[in-house]
């Protein structure tokens, strides 16, 4: 009697060890970069690693991180939004203009800004999905139109390129406390924006990893035609992603307006590329279908550490751009290698 040959385990249900699971995570490169950048600056600057120093570099990381997480979701879905930066300025201008020039309560002015931002996000998504034009072109057009509106309307109302005086508006104190205030932890003041950043990152991570919508985002970014074939609402998903980016722009624009109590008409211009860089450093691919919200948040932390670390070391701030370019190239290469390894593990 012969002994039947042992049947090999189906590779689809084969056990994958913890180390291998970690190696295929999209944020792996960002975590390595985070540790390296922290060690580099902390070893040379006691201020950088002090509680006050940490609060200092977490501040720019928070506002950037909110936007980077939203942009990462959109990039995973296979699209870009070049109007995201200038939309932060539009949202802030609406808030300050309505509150200071038309007597709106700050909370009502913020609500009006949110409605406008979501409408712009919806319009971007609708045009992209209906016309099949590249989102790069569509949102570049939106970027230029918003830039013109911001400057033209602000000059028409104020005679300058700035709107100020928000501190005197009704409802400012409560809105400022919620969105732009500080909290004391161990005797050190941290911006409330950090909590908003953590909340946005947590919600985005849950959506990506634990919800049906997250599966749709990965599906439309990886292969939109295949996603449609299996019933994924591709158009609705992409429109929702553009509106999510618009919501993040409104949140960041409101935080900055409440913090500084004034807004320049050209604020936010150029920041859209910083958001994309942070998302790429965090593990997102430019081709879509791959990335993580946590990775984008880590990319924002790296940005914040480098931004303030260079100042703490007394270096010329011009080196920051060089650092960003180097990090972008290294992150892109690392993401490509991690993605290739992940595909080999799955197959």
- Model confidence over 237-272: pLDDT tens digits? 999 999 999 999 999 999 999 999 999 999 999 899
Specify whether the CB–CB gap between 69 and 248 falls below 8 A. yes
Confidence label for 21 from pLDDT (cuts 50, 70 and 90): low
Mean pLDDT for the chain overall: 89
Q: Are strands 262-264 and 182-185 parallel, antiparallel or unpaired?
A: unpaired
Tell me what pLDDT residue 339 has: 64
Contact 299, 279 (CB under 8 A): yes
The pLDDT value given to residue 343: 60
14, pLDDT greater than 60: no
10 has pLDDT over 60: no
Write the Ramachandran bin of 261: left for phi over 0, alpha for psi from -120 to 50, otherwise beta: left
Least Cα distance to 62 among 242, 330, 259 occurs for 259
Q: What is the pTM of this model?
A: 0.90
pLDDT digits (tens, 9 = 90+) for 52-91: 999 999 999 999 999 999 999 999 999 999 999 999 999 9
- Residue 342's pLDDT is 60
- Domains in the chain and their CATH numbers? 49-346 (1.10.3470)
**According to the model, what pLDDT value does residue 347 have?**
56
* Selected residue with higher pLDDT from 150 and 15: 150
Question: Residues 166-181: pLDDT tens digits?
Answer: 999 999 999 999 999 9
Report the alpha-carbon distance of residue 321 to residue 333 in Å, rounded. Answer: 19
């Amino acid at each position: 009697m012969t002994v039947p040959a042992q049947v090999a385990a189906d590779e689809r249900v084969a056990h994958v060890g913890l180390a291998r699971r970690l190696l295929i995570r999209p944020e792996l490169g960002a975590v390595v970069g985070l540790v390296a950048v922290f060690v580099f600056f902390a070893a040379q600057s006691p201020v950088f690693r002090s509680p006050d120093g940490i609060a200092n570099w977490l501040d720019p990381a928070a506002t950037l991180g909110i936007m980077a997480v939203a942009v990462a979701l959109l990039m995973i879905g296979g699209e870009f939004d070049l109007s995201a930066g200038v939309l932060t300025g539009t949202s802030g201008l609406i808030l300050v203009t309505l509150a200071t020039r038309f007597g709106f309560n700050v909370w009502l002015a913020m609500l009006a800004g949110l409605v406008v931002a979501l409408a712009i996000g919806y319009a971007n998504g609708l045009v992209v999905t209906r016309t099949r034009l590249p989102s790069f072109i569509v949102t570049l057009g939106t970027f230029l139109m918003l830039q013109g509106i911001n400057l033209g309307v602000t000059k028409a109302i104020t005679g300058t390129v700035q709107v100020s005086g928000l501190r005197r508006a009704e409802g400012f104190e409560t809105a400022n406390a919620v969105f732009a205030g500080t909290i004391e932890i161990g005797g050190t003041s941290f911006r409330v924006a950090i909590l908003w950043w953590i909340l946005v990152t947590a919600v985005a991570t849950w959506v990506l990893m634990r919800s049906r919508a997250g599966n749709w985002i990965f599906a439309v970014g990886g292969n939109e035609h295949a996603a449609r074939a299996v019933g994924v609402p591709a158009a609705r998903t992409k429109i929702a992603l553009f509106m999510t980016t618009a919501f993040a722009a409104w949140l960041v624009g409101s935080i900055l307006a409440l913090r500084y109590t004034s807004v320049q008409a050209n604020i936010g211009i150029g920041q859209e590329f910083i958001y994309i860089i942070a998302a790429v450093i965090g593990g997102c691919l430019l081709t879509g279908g791959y990335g993580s919200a946590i990775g984008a948040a880590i990319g924002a932390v790296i940005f914040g550490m480098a931004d303030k670390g260079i100042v703490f070391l007394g270096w010329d701030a011009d080196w920051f751009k060089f650092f960003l370019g180097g990090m972008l190239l290294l992150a892109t290469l690392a993401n490509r290698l991690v993605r290739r390894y992940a595909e080999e593990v799955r197959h």
